[in-house]
Chains A and B, each alone.
Chain A
Amino acid sequence: MTGQVTERDAAFFQDWLVTAADAIRANADRLTDLDSAIGDADHGNNMRRGFSAVAAALADERPDTPGAVLLLGGRTLVSTVGGASGPLFGTLLRRTGKALGEAERVTDEELRVALETGIGAVGQLGGAAAGDKTMLDALLPALDALPDYAAAALAAEEGSRATIPLRAHKGRASYLGERSVGHEDPGAASAALIFRALHEVADR
């Protein structure tokens, strides 16, 4: 139907983060395995702890706008994850939520614009760019594919897999130098799970 614009409400965003929490939980061991190759073997555990707290906080507070859902999610990640992942994934959600403002419903295009702000803030905080073997290598291709959620999920997964041949320039993996080559970045893998969850929820 031409001209019809889908609008997403707080419930959609709540579903998104709860679905992401389920995906993180289901993949926690895989994320930890990826991290044990080039990090310190705790990424899956840390993300599971954080996203479980997000799901609990959302169930508890039931924020009534899309922006408020993402703000609460982001703040909860910053407060529970630790490491570099807490501030980075927390900033992604928090800054995206802030960009959405107080609107009760947002269009997919408005979400794309807000995610552009959130992903930009992640790059700034971590001082990273495309190709540094970080979560940005999944986030940036996903952003380019939006507002098509199926394409974005695919682009994030491909972006994550494309970190395998890269040499890490940021975070603890950077100390491995050439030895970081040949392993998928766990942060990028987590980012791909979050975009997969967005696609799943939009498809329902």
Chain B
Amino acid sequence: MKMLINGADRVVADALRGMAAAHPGLRVEVEHRLVLRGDAPVDGKVGLISGGGSGHEPLHAGFVGPGMLDAACPGEVFTSPVPDQMTRAAGAVDSGQGVLLVVKNYTGDVLNFDMAAELIEDEGIAVDRVVVDDDVAVTDSTFTAGRRGVGGTLFVHKLAGAVAQEGAPLSRVAEVGRRVAEASRSFGVALHGPTTPAKGSPTFDLPPDELELGIGIHGEPGRERRAMLSAAEIADVTVEALLADLPLSASEPVLCLTNGMGGTPLLELYGFHAEVVRALGERGVTLARSLVGNYVTSLDMAGCSVSLCRLDEELLRLWDAPVSTPGLRWGR
């Protein structure tokens, strides 16, 4: 596999150097693996901190900026960051209002953020955390590490970020984050496995005529492998899986992220989104807002995920609030 890199050990540092050059509004500490709002700490504002393995760009560093995150802690590729990063981030973004950690429910992320939360508290900074576990493909949580945090993470970043930007206190920002996490569901499909720089070949083999249903953001499986389906059929399977877990009434505003996993072009994603809208419509669901693109990716994995979030009036307003980050930008 050919990759545009200088070497597997340098991938994350090189990408951070590039982000620093491309986005002068960010403060990038390459050595400490931190991406911060350039104006952090923002007076009177709760600091929103997230992070996770690299390879999911624009998640997480691409969502740093006004209206979303104050800091992102990128780990090695597909490996959670270490507590030192979150602790340093908290020191850099805390304005006295405390910090909220947004954590995806993966064993490594949870362990490292938990350790970080203890250290942050020891430093006298108020801290709370929201764990995102929106993946409906994982049902058997007695025998697994539980539902994974996937596409819904973007919703939590955006909506909690918007209420933090308005100056809400930590308890309220955390409450919004948890409310969004509880109202979000995702389901993903892989057509081809991702290639990590360290391994150089796909992390799992998927024959050309098969697809994997219910994958997480590292290509880990959740449900089953099947013969390849059309976009319409994939949309039906996906929407069925989502609505089985998230009953929606016709009157509720619903937000939909049709997300590419990194290796699927927008031409396919928009076509797929049309089928998602059709499949939802046939089941009585009309979308209030849509977002289509590569947002929560898995390196070059081909495939897609759909995330739905049940909104209310307040959440709809927070979704529409201005945001200015490398990966998401509107309303300014």
Whether B143 pairs with A82 at a CB distance below 8 angstroms is no
Whether B144 pairs with A82 at a CB distance below 8 angstroms is no
Given known A174-B144, A176-B221, contact A82–B198 (CB-CB < 8 A):
no
Given known A81-B82, A83-B80, A176-B221, contact A40–B111 (CB-CB < 8 A):
no
Q: Give chain A residues whose Cβ lies under 8 Å from the Cβ of B138.
A: 175
Question: Once A and B bind, how many residue pairs between them come within 8 Å at the CB atom?
Answer: 102
Whether A172 pairs with B112 at a CB distance below 8 angstroms is no
How far does the Cβ of B249 sit from chain A's closest Cβ, in whole Å?
Answer: 32
Tell me if B106 is interfacial: C-beta within 8 Å of chain A: yes
Whether A40 pairs with B218 at a CB distance below 8 angstroms is yes
Whether B78 pairs with A179 at a CB distance below 8 angstroms is no
Whether A84 pairs with B111 at a CB distance below 8 angstroms is yes
State A125–B295 Cα separation when bound (angstroms).
32
Whether B145 pairs with A82 at a CB distance below 8 angstroms is no
Q: Give chain B residues whose Cβ lies under 8 Å from the Cβ of A45.
A: 8, 76, 198
How far does the Cβ of A134 sit from chain B's closest Cβ, in whole Å?
Answer: 10
Given known A40-B203, A40-B218, A42-B196, contact A169–B143 (CB-CB < 8 A):
yes
Q: Give chain B residues whose Cβ lies under 8 Å from the Cβ of A86.
A: 80, 82, 108, 111-112
Chain B, interface residues (CB within 8 Å), range? 20 to 34
Q: Give chain B residues whose Cβ lies under 8 Å from the Cβ of A174.
A: 143-145
Whether A172 pairs with B82 at a CB distance below 8 angstroms is no
State A83–B106 Cα separation when bound (angstroms).
9
Tell me if A41 is interfacial: C-beta within 8 Å of chain B: yes
Whether B111 pairs with A87 at a CB distance below 8 angstroms is yes
Chain A, interface residues (CB within 8 Å), range? 20 to 34
Whether B218 pairs with A82 at a CB distance below 8 angstroms is no
From B82, B199, B203, B219, A82 is in contact (CB under 8 Å) with B82
Tell me if A126 is interfacial: C-beta within 8 Å of chain B: yes
A46, A86, A176: most-surrounded residue (chain B CB, <10 A): A86
> Which single residue of chain B is at the shortest CB-CB distance from A169?
B143
Chain B 99-121 interface 0/1 with A at a Cβ cutoff of 8 Å (1 = within): 00000001110011001000000
State A200–B203 Cα separation when bound (angstroms).
34
Tell me if B166 is interfacial: C-beta within 8 Å of chain A: no
Residues of A within 8 A of B (CB): 32, 36, 40-42, 45-46, 49, 78-88, 125-126, 167, 169-172, 174-177, 179
5 contacts across the A-B interface (CB closer than 8 A): A41-B196, A82-B82, A87-B112, A169-B144, A172-B220
Which 3 residue pairs of A and B lie closest in terms of their CB atoms, listed nearest first? A83-B108, A174-B144, A87-B111
